[in-house]
Structure 1
Amino acid sequence: MVHAIRIHEYGGPEALRWDEVEVGDPGPGEVRLRQTAVGLNYIDTYHRTGAYKMPQLPAIIGAAAAGVVEAVGPKVTALKVGDRVAYAPTAGGAYTQARVMSSERLVPLPSWIGEEQAAGMMLQGMTAQYLLRSTYRVQPGDTILVQAAAGAVGLILCQWAKHLGATVIGTVSTDEKAELARAYGCDHPIVYSREDFPVRVKEITGGQGVPVVYDGVGKTTFMASLDCLRPRGLMVLFGAASGPPAPLDLGVLAAKGSLYVTRPTLFTYVNKRDDLMSSAADLFDVVHAGGVKIDVRQTYPLRDAEQAHRALEGRQTTGSTVLIP
């Protein structure tokens, strides 16, 4: 028997329980994974609250982790016992000391990547990868806007976009977070609590606006994000930390300059094995080259996931956070 964090009902951080669970043997195409680090991601709060429903309750939440293969089932040829691997995303199941899962969703780790770093970068890093290289392919000379630039995905977006030759504008809530974002490649941090960020974006861009906004905040920033776009610009809503935006009258997009809006998810972009491996390889390459630095800035014991969720939702974290089983 091992321990896992489960929810028995949807709710606040207090709904997270430290339960004893049983982990069976791997079947065909599966491995048993001893987990050494679990990534804390905002999507975990959506599963906890029921904003994204789990298939059934009680349920183990969590979308990303790293660990060591301790058993392989029949028909598994690409992995062996002792291999270090990581994964993201999954629709739950990561907040546990051990689990059985499909080998097709596991990515072998290069020797230079630590397991805590891997757990902290897989979901957030591959999110940045598809946003910057597929949803809107950032080019040298582009000026882009990143909402919540000091958050886990935000810091990666700032660094990677800067590495690609872009100028990065980012919104943050405090002066301290502004300095952090600047240190990670944000050319123009805007403290939105005292500055009108659409006005500042227009000032920075000489009145033109930006070709793309990457917004993981949602409700509180969505409409103002549209005002930051140049004509025919792309609004990329990839999360909703403040809640989902209100329904949108599509006529607004015409009035604001024939804008585009998309609501992508990492699940769609890495659903196929080849796409998963390609995205992970791109992430590993840019980290190894020094273009993106992944800092695990907070760690908590897995059994203290409630405390970690409170810190995340209270905007008390920056960068990546990892739970230690």
Structure 2
Amino acid sequence: MSFPKTIQAIAINKNGEVDVINKEAVPFPEHVPGNVIVKVNYGGVNYIDTYFRKGLYPTKSFPHTLGLEASGTIAALPTDEKVLNNEQYKKRGFKVGDRVAIYTAAAHAEYTSVPWVKVFAVPNNVSLLIAGAAVVQGLTALTFITESYDVKKGDYVFVHTVAGGLGLLFAQLAKHRGAIVIGTTSTQEKADIAKEHGADHVILYPITKGEGVHVIYDGVGKDTFEDNFKFIQRKGTIVCLGNASGAVPPFPPLKLVEKNVKLLRPSAGNYIVTPEESLQYGTELFQLIASGVAKISVYKEYPFTADGAREAQTDLTQRGGKTFGKLVIKIADE
């Protein structure tokens, strides 16, 4: 199959506010022998996109194509014989034309080149729209409730911004395991949505009988970090997973001694490094979605334009914002 020399992508040429986001021509991605080439249909929008845009997370070079997740169809398979003969690769059974979701950098483009370990088969009853919205937040929620803190029946689980795309998944998956889910949100409408997705309560102190919660999942960062120590229980776990309000400033490790608290700052990417981990979590995630246990709520589809990408990041980061669920850029028709 022949490919174009250049493709359209959502990219930045410098760090800054949303006006640095452009739609522009970039070179067709290199077909690394161990990679899969994917023709992209939908790209999920995440806070990490804003971190790269602002420079909180450094980029290696410019132009830098944004996006860490997408969905589409396989356009070309790996050419490396070692990969083709790898037993874990064979278990995927990938073919050109297969519907897949991907977890990779430079995802918001017409085509992208993806390490095969970061490619996940999409079940027939899951749309590419939902698949493109599910990868980053779905794998984050699933790995964090398994490995950062293994959520069990009867645990009190606290989720900041529970009506966001990630928060709703934390609520659903923790509830599926039998936990009591408590969350924060900014409006009654969002509170109602969170309860529809598994959150039990939106208040705290009368619920935990003064003992505090077993685990806190905090994607807000600077503004909520100190309060976490007030309502975590003794020997509880605080999982910091984002910087929506800014990065957490340095703090003295002795702060953990007050309640023997465990503090983690993990990334989903480091939980799905090996082919075995990738297959385990990717398969489990899409089974949960296909069976209806995990429902992906898409707030809005944005056009594949500079204005569309700028609007999506603006809506995502709006203080006390109007959005709930997931924001998605439609890159091509299914």
Residue identity matched to 1:87: I
SS in 1 for 2:184: strand
Q: 1:153 to 1:24 in 2, by over 3 A?
A: closer
Aligned residue number for residue 38 of structure 2? 33
2:29–2:111 Cα contact (<8 Å) kept: no
How far does the alpha carbon of each residue in 1:141-190 deviate from its partner, in whole angstroms, 9 at most, with x for none? 11110001000100011111111111110000112111111111111124
TM-score, normalised relative to structure 2: 0.90
Alignment of 1:10 onto 2:21: no
How far does the alpha carbon of each residue in 1:8-66 deviate from its partner, in whole angstroms, 9 at most, with x for none? 00111111111012315624222321100101111111111111111111110110001
How far does the alpha carbon of each residue in 1:110-149 deviate from its partner, in whole angstroms, 9 at most, with x for none? 2111111001011100100011111111111111100010
Distance 1:27 1:210 in 2: 46
Alignment of 1:113 onto 2:118: no
Which of 20, 27, 49 does residue 25 from structure 2 map onto? 20
Q: Report the CA distance between 1:290 and its aligned residue.
A: 2.3
- 1:196-211 maps to which residues of 2 (within 5 A)? 201-211=204-214
Alignment RMSD (CA, Å): 1.4
Aligned residue number for residue 185 of structure 2? 172
1:6–1:19 Cα contact (<8 Å) kept: yes
1:26–1:72 Cα contact (<8 Å) kept: no
SS in 2 for 1:35: strand
Distance 1:128 1:311 in 2: 22
Distance 2:243 2:26 in 1: 31
Distance 1:227 1:216 in 2: 17
Aligned residue number for residue 267 of structure 2? 265
Aligned length: 312
Aligned residue number for residue 54 of structure 1? 59
Aligned residue number for residue 230 of structure 1? 233
Q: Tell me, which stretches of 5 or more residues in structure 1 are unaligned? A: 191-200
Distance 1:131 1:316 in 2: 26
SS in 2 for 1:112: coil
2:117–2:274 Cα contact (<8 Å) kept: no
Alignment of 1:72 onto 2:77: yes
Aligned residue number for residue 169 of structure 2? 156
Which of 239, 244, 249 does residue 247 from structure 2 map onto? 244
Aligned residue number for residue 47 of structure 2? 42
1:79–1:103 Cα contact (<8 Å) kept: no
Aligned residue number for residue 312 of structure 2? 308
* Identical-pair percentage: 34
Aligned residue number for residue 257 of structure 2? 254
Give every structure 1 segment of 4 or more consecutive aligned residues whose post-TM-superposition deviation is greater than 4 Å: none
Which of 131, 153, 166 does residue 140 from structure 1 map onto? 153
Q: Tell me, which stretches of 5 or more residues in structure 2 are unaligned? A: 1-5, 85-92
1:210–1:229 Cα contact (<8 Å) kept: yes
Q: 1:45 to 1:24 in 2, by over 3 A?
A: closer
TM-score, normalised relative to structure 1: 0.92
Residue identity matched to 1:249: P
Distance 2:248 2:30 in 1: 43
Residue identity matched to 1:80: K
Distance 2:95 2:20 in 1: 36
2:42–2:71 Cα contact (<8 Å) kept: yes
Aligned residue number for residue 103 of structure 1? 116
SS in 2 for 1:189: coil
